[in-house]
Amino acid sequence: MKKAICPGSFDPITNGHLDIIERASKVFNELIVGVVVNPAKKCLFSVDERVAQIKNVVKDLPNVRVEKFSGLLVNLMNKEDARVIVKGLRSVSDFEYEFQMAAMNNKLDPSKETVFMMTKTEYCYISSTSVKQVAMLGGSIKGLVPEEIIPEIIRKFNSK
Protein backbone atom coordinates (compact mmCIF):
# COMPACT_ATOMS: atom_id res chain seq x y z
CA MET A 1 0.00 0.00 0.00
CA LYS A 2 1.12 3.52 -0.65
CA LYS A 3 0.70 6.32 1.87
CA ALA A 4 -1.19 6.58 5.14
CA ILE A 5 -1.60 9.06 7.96
CA CYS A 6 -1.64 8.13 11.64
CA PRO A 7 -3.22 11.16 13.36
CA GLY A 8 -3.39 12.05 17.03
CA SER A 9 -2.46 14.50 19.73
CA PHE A 10 0.31 12.27 21.15
CA ASP A 11 0.51 14.22 24.42
CA PRO A 12 2.80 12.41 25.11
CA ILE A 13 3.48 9.60 22.66
CA THR A 14 3.13 6.25 24.45
CA ASN A 15 4.57 2.83 23.75
CA GLY A 16 1.12 1.90 22.48
CA HIS A 17 1.25 4.72 19.91
CA LEU A 18 4.77 3.73 18.94
CA ASP A 19 3.70 0.10 18.49
CA ILE A 20 0.98 1.13 16.03
CA ILE A 21 3.38 3.46 14.17
CA GLU A 22 6.05 0.76 13.86
CA ARG A 23 3.55 -1.85 12.65
CA ALA A 24 1.85 0.53 10.20
CA SER A 25 5.26 1.50 8.80
CA LYS A 26 5.63 -2.14 7.70
CA VAL A 27 2.27 -2.08 5.88
CA PHE A 28 2.53 1.25 4.06
CA ASN A 29 5.28 2.59 1.81
CA GLU A 30 5.06 5.93 3.61
CA LEU A 31 3.49 6.75 6.96
CA ILE A 32 2.89 10.29 8.11
CA VAL A 33 2.35 10.80 11.84
CA GLY A 34 -0.03 13.75 11.93
CA VAL A 35 0.22 15.69 15.19
CA VAL A 36 -2.94 17.71 15.57
CA VAL A 37 -2.98 21.30 16.78
CA ASN A 38 -6.14 21.57 18.87
CA PRO A 39 -6.44 24.93 20.64
CA ALA A 40 -9.47 23.65 22.58
CA LYS A 41 -7.38 20.89 24.20
CA LYS A 42 -5.08 21.65 27.12
CA CYS A 43 -1.86 19.79 26.31
CA LEU A 44 1.14 19.18 28.55
CA PHE A 45 3.51 19.64 25.60
CA SER A 46 3.34 22.19 22.80
CA VAL A 47 2.76 20.83 19.31
CA ASP A 48 6.39 21.54 18.41
CA GLU A 49 7.61 19.63 21.48
CA ARG A 50 5.37 16.68 20.56
CA VAL A 51 6.61 16.70 16.96
CA ALA A 52 10.23 16.75 18.18
CA GLN A 53 9.59 13.87 20.61
CA ILE A 54 7.99 11.73 17.91
CA LYS A 55 10.72 12.52 15.38
CA ASN A 56 13.26 11.40 17.97
CA VAL A 57 11.57 8.06 18.67
CA VAL A 58 10.84 7.21 15.00
CA LYS A 59 14.23 8.28 13.63
CA ASP A 60 15.11 4.67 12.76
CA LEU A 61 11.95 4.23 10.66
CA PRO A 62 12.98 5.65 7.27
CA ASN A 63 9.49 5.67 5.77
CA VAL A 64 7.90 7.58 8.67
CA ARG A 65 7.54 11.35 8.61
CA VAL A 66 6.07 13.59 11.33
CA GLU A 67 3.93 16.64 10.49
CA LYS A 68 1.84 18.97 12.59
CA PHE A 69 -1.56 20.00 11.28
CA SER A 70 -4.67 21.90 12.25
CA GLY A 71 -8.14 21.73 10.84
CA LEU A 72 -9.70 18.74 9.14
CA LEU A 73 -7.68 15.55 8.77
CA VAL A 74 -9.07 15.05 5.25
CA ASN A 75 -7.50 18.37 4.24
CA LEU A 76 -4.08 17.11 5.36
CA MET A 77 -4.75 13.87 3.52
CA ASN A 78 -5.55 15.72 0.29
CA LYS A 79 -2.46 17.90 0.68
CA GLU A 80 -0.30 14.79 1.21
CA ASP A 81 -2.14 12.69 -1.41
CA ALA A 82 -2.90 10.03 1.21
CA ARG A 83 -5.99 7.80 1.11
CA VAL A 84 -5.72 5.84 4.35
CA ILE A 85 -6.07 6.79 8.02
CA VAL A 86 -4.46 4.45 10.55
CA LYS A 87 -5.96 4.37 14.03
CA GLY A 88 -4.97 2.22 16.97
CA LEU A 89 -7.62 0.59 19.13
CA ARG A 90 -7.24 -0.51 22.74
CA SER A 91 -10.82 -1.36 23.61
CA VAL A 92 -14.44 -1.44 22.49
CA SER A 93 -14.90 2.13 23.71
CA ASP A 94 -12.03 3.24 21.45
CA PHE A 95 -13.77 1.50 18.55
CA GLU A 96 -17.07 3.30 19.18
CA TYR A 97 -15.39 6.71 19.12
CA GLU A 98 -13.06 5.94 16.21
CA PHE A 99 -15.90 4.37 14.19
CA GLN A 100 -17.80 7.67 14.44
CA MET A 101 -14.69 9.59 13.38
CA ALA A 102 -14.11 7.21 10.46
CA ALA A 103 -17.71 7.64 9.31
CA MET A 104 -17.40 11.43 9.50
CA ASN A 105 -14.12 11.45 7.57
CA ASN A 106 -15.71 9.19 4.94
CA LYS A 107 -18.70 11.55 4.71
CA LEU A 108 -16.34 14.51 4.26
CA ASP A 109 -14.36 12.65 1.59
CA PRO A 110 -15.58 9.22 0.44
CA SER A 111 -12.19 8.47 -1.15
CA LYS A 112 -10.62 8.17 2.33
CA GLU A 113 -10.53 4.88 4.21
CA THR A 114 -9.77 4.14 7.86
CA VAL A 115 -7.75 1.09 8.92
CA PHE A 116 -7.97 0.02 12.55
CA MET A 117 -5.05 -1.77 14.19
CA MET A 118 -5.45 -3.47 17.55
CA THR A 119 -2.77 -2.61 20.04
CA LYS A 120 -0.69 -5.38 21.50
CA THR A 121 -2.10 -6.71 24.75
CA GLU A 122 0.76 -5.33 26.81
CA TYR A 123 -0.19 -1.78 25.81
CA CYS A 124 -4.00 -1.96 25.99
CA TYR A 125 -4.23 -0.13 29.32
CA ILE A 126 -1.88 2.74 28.41
CA SER A 127 -3.20 6.16 27.47
CA SER A 128 -1.53 9.55 27.36
CA THR A 129 -3.90 10.69 30.10
CA SER A 130 -2.96 7.82 32.42
CA VAL A 131 0.75 8.42 31.77
CA LYS A 132 0.35 12.08 32.76
CA GLN A 133 -1.60 11.15 35.90
CA VAL A 134 1.03 8.64 37.02
CA ALA A 135 3.87 11.10 36.32
CA MET A 136 2.06 13.94 38.08
CA LEU A 137 1.70 11.79 41.19
CA GLY A 138 5.37 10.78 41.12
CA GLY A 139 4.91 7.20 39.89
CA SER A 140 7.17 5.40 37.45
CA ILE A 141 6.27 5.72 33.77
CA LYS A 142 9.02 3.33 32.68
CA GLY A 143 7.60 0.92 30.11
CA LEU A 144 4.67 3.22 29.35
CA VAL A 145 6.44 5.70 27.07
CA PRO A 146 9.65 5.60 25.05
CA GLU A 147 12.69 5.90 27.34
CA GLU A 148 13.93 8.98 25.47
CA ILE A 149 11.01 11.15 26.57
CA ILE A 150 10.72 10.13 30.23
CA PRO A 151 13.06 12.95 31.40
CA GLU A 152 10.98 15.51 29.46
CA ILE A 153 7.75 14.35 31.09
CA ILE A 154 9.27 14.38 34.58
CA ARG A 155 10.77 17.83 33.94
CA LYS A 156 7.34 19.21 32.94
CA PHE A 157 5.78 18.09 36.20
CA ASN A 158 8.74 19.18 38.33
CA SER A 159 8.53 22.68 36.86
CA LYS A 160 4.85 23.09 37.77
> Mind telling me the catalytic residues?
17, 41, 90, 128
CB burial of residue 63 (10 Å; 0-12, 13-18, 19+): middle
31 is known to lie in a ligand binding site: no
DSSP 8-state symbol, 96: H
9 is known to lie in a ligand binding site: yes
97 is known to lie in a ligand binding site: no
DSSP annotation string for 105-125: HHHH-TT-EEEEEEPPGGGTT
88 is known to lie in a ligand binding site: yes
96 is known to lie in a ligand binding site: no
98 is known to lie in a ligand binding site: yes
93 is known to lie in a ligand binding site: no
Provide the total of helices (H) and of strands (E) in the chain, helices listed first: 6, 5
Contact by Cβ (8 Å): 49, 148: no
Binding-site residues, please?
9-10, 17, 41, 73, 87-90, 98, 123-129
Binding-site residues for substrate, please?
9, 41, 73, 87
Binding-site residues for ATP, please?
9-10, 17, 88-90, 98, 123-129
